[in-house]
Structure 1
Amino acid sequence: MDETEIMASGDLDRIIKVDSKGDIKNLMKNINDIAEQLKDVTVEERRAQQTKTDLITNVSHDLRTPLTSIIGYLEIIDNDKYKDEVELRYYVNIAYEKAKGLNLLINDLFELTKMQNNTISLDKEDINLVQLLGQVVAYFEYQFKNADMKSRVNFSDDKLIVNADARKLVRAIENLLSNAIKYGQDGFYVDITTKIEENMAVVQVINYGQSISSIDLPHVFDRFYRVEKSRNSEIGGSGLGLAITKNIIELHQGIISVYSDNERTIFEFKLPVK
């Protein structure tokens, strides 16, 4: 009774130790189990609350920064504080670009929230993954050329047929290619490879730019997580691309991982093959 009163006061680390047998022993074990479960729930609730707080803080910062710029430039225009039409167009263009970035962030945040709340539906069909990858890489040739980079494909001869939502899968692949272009320019090449392992289609997007430190590596799929120095908000994007990619792959019962050393950074995802 004394031990349960201490537990009831909030000390869930307490464990009842009584030399008993029969029903009293079973009751003691059940109370200890309940206390342990309550402790786990409490820890999980605190973690969820902290995640929510961090998300609100990050969203507030990422929304406020471009919004402040938009208001500032529109105020200049509204007060006729520009020299000529050239300067006016310059200010309008900056406000327009900031507004597009704001729209991207809001849309990405909305999409990610739907995915994580399991309120998004997938329009699945049988897809040749190799063909899909080839089409997306070809579409990205302009971006590679504009970044003074070159893509290289090494597709296996395996017939990689997956049952997936093509549009969502394209979004995931585009995010990985965009990420490789943003952070891999020092390495010039981006390699896209495929293979099959134990009934799983394996896709790798490899860049040879600056490596990701072991400290940052476990967090690259987190919302709004940006690695210091070159991987900061000045690079652009909503900060949600890799988080969205991870959710898309997991919605397809796949897994995604990242590996990085001094030579290369590999983003790899696996999807079940039909």
Structure 2
Amino acid sequence: MEDKFIHSFRYRNLWYSILSAILALLTVLFFLGIVHFISYTLLSNQEYRQALETATSDYKNQTSNSSNNSVSDAIYQNSLNLKYAPDVNTKNSQSNGELDPVVYLVALFIGFASFITYFMIFTKKMSSYLKEISKGIDELAIGNFDVRIPLRNDDEFTRIAQNLNRMAVEIKAIMEEERNTESKKNELITNVAHDLRTPLTSIIGYLDLVSKKDLPAEIKDKYIGIAYNKSIRLEKLIEDLFSYTKFEFGEVKFYKKEVDIVKMLYQLLDEFYPSFTEYGLEYSFDVTVPSAVVSADGDYLARAFANLIGNAIKYGADGKNINLRLEVKDTEVIVTITNYGEVIPKKDITHIFEKFYRVEYSRNEEHGGTGLGLAIARNIFEMHGGQVTARSGLDGTVFEVILPIGQ
């Protein structure tokens, strides 16, 4: 507390004021001393001349009026007059040699001016720093949030500069976040419009062909089947979009209970068996423990793992194998899902969990992804206190899920 006060603006101002007052007083005393010395010197010279003139005049009178006295007596008497006259006059000068009141008024003015001058000299650095702070505030006022005010001392002004710098950083971050949000919102609208329009256009086109043209039953059935598949895809997109929106706005409620992830994954693999067969894939599941129980909402957790397995099937068909592995380390369950399809570029791997983000080669009708499955899976895992990461290389594309046990 004491150290903070010593470095405070008030303490330094108090010290500068005292020091300026002392120096101003010394300046006034020096001025009065000079004036007094000059006055005393001039007065003494004037009195000496007057005494000399008086002695000379007396000598002349004595020589003219006292002819019986010898010249030597007159000279001796004159010397005595010269010797003792200044002492008498000096006493008179000391009694009457006080300085004029105007001099004291001038001294008072000099003292006041000196105090201000010294104080301004001592606070020049502080005033300069205030100008820097003021300039920084002006820059912030016009929207330049890249400006940074230098930190000079450990006082109130420095803390003001620190707060202004922190405010500039935070405002800039908020503005960038708002720009990103606006950009993502526009991107979301664009992607939703595109992904809704594509299947809907196909559905309308095929149904129009069926309704307006006389087509063989075989062709009609084919077109109706295509329209039906497009409708299913459109329904899946709308469902995923609705689910993602609920996660984004925190409208999802979890009903947690004990869930055995080992058993859950076996069930999911059985459900995906037709998809493995359709894509010509083999799968394996390596488990190091008989069971791994976590506290979770079983339906949502199953959906998250289903999204990862479905993603591995769609984009790993070229590798012919899908490998799952589950192990328990300390208080965590670690699940990895590996496919051996096309390697995901580094520029894409860090974005694949973002909504509507799809790797360039996956943007085709064959895969039919909505770009929301991985984003939904990440939200579910994170809301269960876990995390999901991805890496891709020549040894495969691996999605790793970590979930805490007992939460």
Same fold (TM over 0.5): yes
Which moved further from structure 2: 195-204 or 86-95? 86-95
1:212 is matched with which residue? 344
2:380 is matched with which residue? 248
1:269 is matched with which residue? 401
2:98 is matched with which residue? none
Q: 1:25 aligns with which of 146, 158, 161?
A: 158
Which moved further from structure 2: 254-263 or 219-228? 219-228
Structure 1 residues 9 and 154: CA distance shift in structure 2, 3 A: same
1:57 is matched with which residue? 190
Q: 1:139 aligns with which of 260, 271, 277?
A: 271
Equivalent pair of 2:351/2:357 in contact (CA under 8 Å): yes
Deviation at 1:211, TM superposition (A): 1.6
Corresponding residue SS for 2:150: coil
Distance 1:52 1:264 in 2: 33
Equivalent pair of 1:211/1:263 in contact (CA under 8 Å): no
Equivalent pair of 2:263/2:291 in contact (CA under 8 Å): no
- Paired letter, 1:155: V
Q: 1:96 aligns with which of 195, 208, 228?
A: 228
Which protein shows a greater Rg?
A: 2
1:114 is matched with which residue? 246
Deviation at 1:261, TM superposition (A): 0.9
Distance 2:338 2:330 in 1: 22
Cα deviation code 1:208-246 (max 9, x no counterpart): 2222121211111121222122x2232113221111111
Distance 1:270 1:18 in 2: 44
Q: 2:300 aligns with which of 165, 168, 179?
A: 168
**Root mean square deviation, CA, Å:** 1.7
1:43 is matched with which residue? 176
Corresponding residue SS for 2:390: strand
Equivalent pair of 1:172/1:248 in contact (CA under 8 Å): yes
Deviation at 1:20, TM superposition (A): 5.7
- Asked if 1:194 is matched to 2:326, the reply is yes
- Asked if 1:181 is matched to 2:313, the reply is yes
Give the structure with the higher percent strand: 1
Distance 1:19 1:216 in 2: 45
Distance 2:158 2:143 in 1: 22
Structure 1 residues 193 and 82: CA distance shift in structure 2, 3 A: same
| Structure 1 gap segments, 5+ residues each | none
TM-score (ref. length: structure 1) = 0.93
Deviation at 1:16, TM superposition (A): 2.5
Q: 1:233 aligns with which of 364, 368, 378?
A: 364
1:68 is matched with which residue? 201
Equivalent pair of 1:141/1:151 in contact (CA under 8 Å): no
Structure 1 residues 85 and 142: CA distance shift in structure 2, 3 A: closer
Distance 1:36 1:180 in 2: 41
| Structure 2 gap segments, 5+ residues each | 1-133
Deviation at 1:255, TM superposition (A): 0.6
Higher RCO structure, 1 or 2 (CA under 8 Å, sep 6+): 1
What is the 5 A alignment of 1:148-167?
148-157=280-289, 159-167=291-299
Structure 1 residues 9 and 127: CA distance shift in structure 2, 3 A: same
Deviation at 1:162, TM superposition (A): 0.3
Which moved further from structure 2: 37-46 or 92-101? 92-101
Report the count of equivalent residues.
Answer: 272
Corresponding residue SS for 1:215: helix
Identical aligned residues as a percent: 37
Distance 1:135 1:19 in 2: 66
Corresponding residue SS for 1:233: coil
Distance 1:97 1:245 in 2: 24
Deviation at 1:260, TM superposition (A): 1.2
Corresponding residue SS for 1:123: coil
Equivalent pair of 1:158/1:195 in contact (CA under 8 Å): no
Cα deviation code 1:68-118 (max 9, x no counterpart): 11222233334x223233333333222222122111101100101111221
Distance 1:236 1:182 in 2: 9
Distance 1:258 1:164 in 2: 22
Distance 2:315 2:217 in 1: 37
Structure 1 residues 20 and 258: CA distance shift in structure 2, 3 A: closer
